[in-house]
Every structure is written in C-alpha cells, then in structure tokens.
Amino acid sequence: MERFADSPDDLPLLKDLKEVVAIARSLPFAPDLWGVQNTYYALLQSVYPDFLHRARQGDAEAQLWVDLFTALGDLLLVRIP
C-alpha cells in the first residue's frame, strides 16, 4: 500500500492491490488491514478528489481509477462520502 501511496496514479498497481485485498478478505481468518485502511483513508482525502473531478470531466482513465479505488474501499470496509 505504501508503494501505491507513493505512486497513486499507477493503475496496474491499484488493480493488483485490490486483488490482494480481495484474496486477504477471502481467507478463513480476519487479516489485520488497519494500516492499509489508514493509508487508503489518507489517499481518499488527498488524491481521490482530483481523480473524481477528472472522471466527471470525461477522463476515462480517471474513471477507471475511481472505480478501482472505490472497489478497494469496499473491500477495506471504508465508506466513501
């Protein structure tokens, strides 16, 4: 997650991160994702608004980023306002 925080525009990394968290959530025990959730929330406050704005302006890549980021938030149980 720290690597993604350093390069939040890296779509392949975001996709991989979402897949890893999905796998972690499917395990028969509850993994500790507290640190990942905190980093996600920080990015939600700092980076998400710009990508959302660009997506609303018709930027298809930004829309894909928003979709993946939102899906990651769902997996992390972080509500996006």
Instruction: Report whether pLDDT(81) > 90.
Output: no
What pTM did the predictor assign? 0.94
Average pLDDT over residues 5-25: 97
Average pLDDT over residues 3-8: 96
DSSP 12-56: HHHHHHHHHHHHHHTSSS----HHHHHHHHHHHHHTHHHHHHHHH
Percent of the chain with pLDDT over 90: 98
> Domain-by-domain residue ranges, the chain?
2-76
CA distances from 66 to 29, 32, 61, 71 (A): 29, 24, 9, 8
Between CA 12 and CA 65 the distance in angstroms is 10
